[in-house]
Chains A and B, each alone.
Chain A
Amino acid sequence: MQFDGQTVWVTGGRSGIGRAVAAAFAREGATVYISGREAETLRQTAGELDGTVRALPCDVTDVGAVEAACSSILGETGQIDVLVNNAGTTVFNAFTESSPEDFDRLMATNLRGPFLTSRAVVGGMTERGSGCIVMINSMAALQVFPNSSVYAASKGGLKMLTDCLRGEVRASGVRVVSIFPGATDTPIWPDKVREKHGHKMMASDDVAAAVLHACAASPQVMVENIVMQPIGGGI
């Protein structure tokens, strides 16, 4: 199997794309840690997936919690080969309706979160000269969607954070990958939107396949960015 013996940490692993990514890595032999804020549902997901999947409750916006989670994985497996920064949240609001609380919440999860987790793992990766950090970004970082200004700003920030991190670590052999999915049928959408448009969206498995492809490429290859969207067009 492609990822036998490797350790993978997936944030936001309880549902949606994170769950599909965790399932796919576990199927390919990896030991997978899924993190999220809700311990109970996280354990439930870990129990439902085949292979070695462990629940690791962690709020990615909390620096102490992130460092503790990272240490706990390192204590059990010795190293982290792949980090998939998937935890994300959104709010659909006009700019004038967006509250400072929403702004802080989205920036915390979507931007500060990947900053903290990547910061925690990247030292070990550069020291070894290998490892893969994957950012589940969004089409919203590349294209204007009305009523998504705060979300788009957090994802646009994540894009530059990722590009700069890649520029700093590429010489060490560490790979940094961005995936920019368009509409994907996950719980990030309100139920009504999923009911009406879910069939036109991509499946979480499609995004997971792209993540695994990028991480499975030979060590001299860095798939830097994959932009993908449903063929069915805008939602």
Chain B
Amino acid sequence: MSLQGKNAIITGASSGIGKALTLALLGQGVNVAACARSQYRLDELREASGALPGTLLIGSVDVADEGEMHAFAEKANMVLGPVSIVVANAGFGVFKPLVEMKAEEFDQVMATNVRGVWLTLRETVPGMVERREGDVVIVSSLAGKNGFAGGTAYSGSKFAVRGIAQSLMHEVREHDVRVLAVFPGSTDTRFFDGTPMSPKRERILRAEDVSDAILHALLAPRRALSSEIDIRPANPR
């Protein structure tokens, strides 16, 4: 199956898995509306995408802001055309024991990781259902299947996203829209910058490993709906 000429929206597209997938889709001839908060990293993305066949549209967006997300989806629709691939990837983490975490920190994590995902889908899925064609990809985390010390907010948010993905899948598969939730383990992205967690880079996944898995599912014949993929570092000697 070819993805050539399709239009996609990817959130959290300026680094890590979002960036790798944006470049991979542009390489397949997909036109991508890529958003993130940081304008300068989006400019870097534009430079990196130079020679790829797909058209890139960038936007500085806070996914938790309904107005901003709505405006970006409208713009993507106007500039690129109807969107048939959406990747809700933007994610944010605060890792602290519950007893040390502030309510504002919890709210911030939930705003990006849960409300942001829901808003991204709310802006894009109705069009797919109407046209009876679409692919929804939600990037959760293995923390969405396993809790860990320091993860009350992050892991809680990623469990929530699994519920969103499963429920949406049951709602829209009859409209020929596929919903995939991906649960990556530790990945070499900017995500761990500034946190006390610093996995060894050679022992964790590359962002491209995760985007390869997503691309494989998107390229499968439409009758096959991959709903969950768990991917972790193999931890070789």
Task: Tell me the complex Cα distance, A228–B229, Å.
Answer: 9
Contact: B229 with A226, CB < 8 Å? yes
Other-chain residue from A129, A224, A228 in contact with B232 (beta carbon distance below 8 A): A224
B161 to chain A, nearest CB (A): 15
B151 to chain A, nearest CB (A): 19
Task: Using A217-B212, A231-B173, A231-B178 as known contacts, say yes or no to A223 and B237 having CB atoms under 8 A apart.
Answer: no
Task: Tell me the complex Cα distance, A228–B232, Å.
Answer: 18
A2 to chain B, nearest CB (A): 13
Other-chain residue from A175, A217, A230 in contact with B224 (beta carbon distance below 8 A): A230
- The reply to whether the CB of B231 lies closer than 8 angstroms to some CB of chain A is yes
Q: Mark B193-219, 1 if CB is under 8 A from A, else 0.
A: 000000000111110010011001000
B199 to chain A, nearest CB (A): 12
Other-chain residue from B221, B223, B226, B232 in contact with A226 (beta carbon distance below 8 A): B226
Q: Mark B225-237, 1 if CB is under 8 A from A, else 0.
A: 1111111111111
Q: What is the number of contacts between chain A and chain B, taking CB atoms within 8 Å?
A: 93
Question: What is the size category of the interface that chain B forms with chain A?
Answer: 20 to 34
Residues of chain A with a CB closer than 8 A to B222's CB? 231
Contact: B227 with A227, CB < 8 Å? yes
Contact: A225 with B235, CB < 8 Å? no
Other-chain residue from B212, B223, B236 in contact with A206 (beta carbon distance below 8 A): B223
Residues of A179-235 contacting chain B, CB below 8 A: 201-203, 206, 209-210, 213, 217-233
Contact: A221 with B225, CB < 8 Å? no
B79 to chain A, nearest CB (A): 29
- The reply to whether the CB of B176 lies closer than 8 angstroms to some CB of chain A is yes
Task: Using A233-B173, A233-B174 as known contacts, say yes or no to A221 and B221 having CB atoms under 8 A apart.
Answer: no
- Contacts A217-B212, A224-B232, A227-B226 aside, 5 further interface pairs with beta carbons under 8 A come to A173-B235, A203-B224, A209-B220, A210-B220, A228-B225
